[in-house]
A = this chain, B = another copy of it.
Amino acid sequence: MNATDAAFAAVTSAPEASAPALDDTQSRRDDRHLAIQRVGIRALRHPVRVGSVGGEAQSTVATFSMYVGLSEDVKGAHMSRFAQLLEEGLDLLTPASFLELAARMQTRLEAQSSYLEMRFPYFRRKRAPVSGAESLLDADVAFIVDAPLHAAPKFVLEVVAPVTSLCPCSKKISAYGAHNQRSHITMRAQASTDLSIDALIEIAEREASSELYGVLKRVDEKFVTERAYDNPKFVEDLVRDIAIACAAHPHIGEFVVASENFESIHNHSAYAELRGQGKLLSSKSD
């Protein structure tokens, strides 16, 4: 039993006294004999405090998707219970406590499977590479718990890290200069609760042509310009180099790495996507 399973076991074994329903349509039997994989609510915004191993807790605003599976003989889900769950007081949401929230949701909805997703902007304090000037840089992050029928719940960490990519071909064939642009690196990884958000984003930043910063002074701008020029990467290089780092990571299981480069010479994007497997095994006991 790993941490994920334990969190679910602790919570889902708790009995819950269900209030007697007056004309409770949703609990009635359904005779169409079709199970529904996901029923619930989405696009619900709620303020949260989030954190992960080694990172500072921070206040942000999350958008939730909250679903449960419905067996074929049940008419419907108790929709108001989803939003209510968020109103009961959310502690700091770390990967571990988010797993507990998912388990609580499944219990409360009297379901055998569930899917909980929370997307939020996440801020890291960075130092400009030469001047040391501090600034925040945002990334889009998601915590996901997928708890399918008859299988252990999986925690998935997703980050969309903005970086710079500089084209090796453009550099090579041009007498001077090279086109470069902002790229979005999406990393979606089955993760242990010990994987930190910052660590995942830093993999993307390390393998990019250059990282981004909120504030850069003149000396820093020189540094990142030259750093990108010294470090050209095709979209294929980006996903391969990041995949190598993910594949060697002890806290990452199955993963997908994608890069979308908003080409500065076209009005469309270059894109690559690579699926792999890290050192975290699904069956790993903690």
Other-chain contact of A136, B32, B46, B243 (Cβ < 8 Å): B46
| Tally of this chain's copies | 4
Which of B47, B260, B266 touches A216 (beta carbons < 8 Å)? B266
A244: chain B residues within 8 A (beta carbon): 32, 34
- Of B23, B166, B235, B264, which contacts A39 at CB under 8 A? B235
- The smallest beta-carbon distance between A256 and chain B, in angstroms, is 9
Question: A209 → chain B, closest Cβ, in Å?
Answer: 9
- Choose the segment among A99-107, A151-159, A185-193, A218-226 that binds chain B (4+ C-beta atoms closer than 8 Å): A218-226
A105-140, CB under 8 A of B: which get 1 and which 0? 000000000000000010100000000011111100
Asked if A51 is at the interface of the complex by the 8 Å CB criterion, the answer is: no
User: In chain B, what residue has the closest Cβ to A165?
Assistant: B264
Candidates B70, B135, B271; contact of A236 at CB < 8 Å = B70
Also in contact, A210 and B269, with CB within 8 A (given A23-B172, A75-B236): no
List B contacts of A278 (CB < 8 A). none
A65–B83 alpha-carbon span in the complex (Å):
32
- Select A214's contact among B60, B172, B266, beta carbons within 8 Å: B266
Supposing A240-B34, A267-B212 touch, asked if A180 and B182 sit within 8 A by C-beta, the answer is no
Nearest Cβ on chain B to A74's Cβ, whole angstroms:
9
Check if B234 sits within 8 Å of A76, measured CB to CB: yes
Assess the A267–B179 pair: CB atoms within 8 A. no
Q: Verify if A206 is at the interface (C-beta below 8 Å from B).
A: no
Apart from A39-B235, A214-B267, what are 8 other A-B pairs with CB-CB below 8 Å?
A: A23-B172, A32-B244, A39-B273, A87-B133, A164-B179, A164-B264, A177-B229, A182-B263
Structural contact, A42 and B274, CB atoms closer than 8 A? no
Q: Does residue A270 face the partner (Cβ distance < 8 Å to B)?
A: yes
In contact, B222 and A174 (Cβ under 8 angstroms): yes
B43 touches A87 (CB 8 A): no
Say if the beta carbon of A228 comes within 8 Å of chain B.
yes
Q: Identify 21 residue pairs between A and B in the complex whose beta-carbon atoms are under 8 Å apart, listed by A's number.
A: A23-B172, A23-B173, A36-B273, A39-B272, A42-B269, A43-B269, A47-B60, A67-B273, A75-B234, A77-B236, A83-B135, A83-B268, A87-B133, A87-B134, A87-B214, A164-B179, A173-B222, A177-B229, A180-B264, A181-B182, A216-B265
- Flag whether A58 is at the interface (Cβ < 8 A): yes
A37 x B226 contact (CB < 8 A)? no
* Beta-carbon contacts under 8 Å, A194-236 to B: 210, 212-218, 221-222, 224-226, 228-229, 234-236
> What residues of B have a CB within 8 angstroms of the CB of A164 in the complex?
179, 264-265
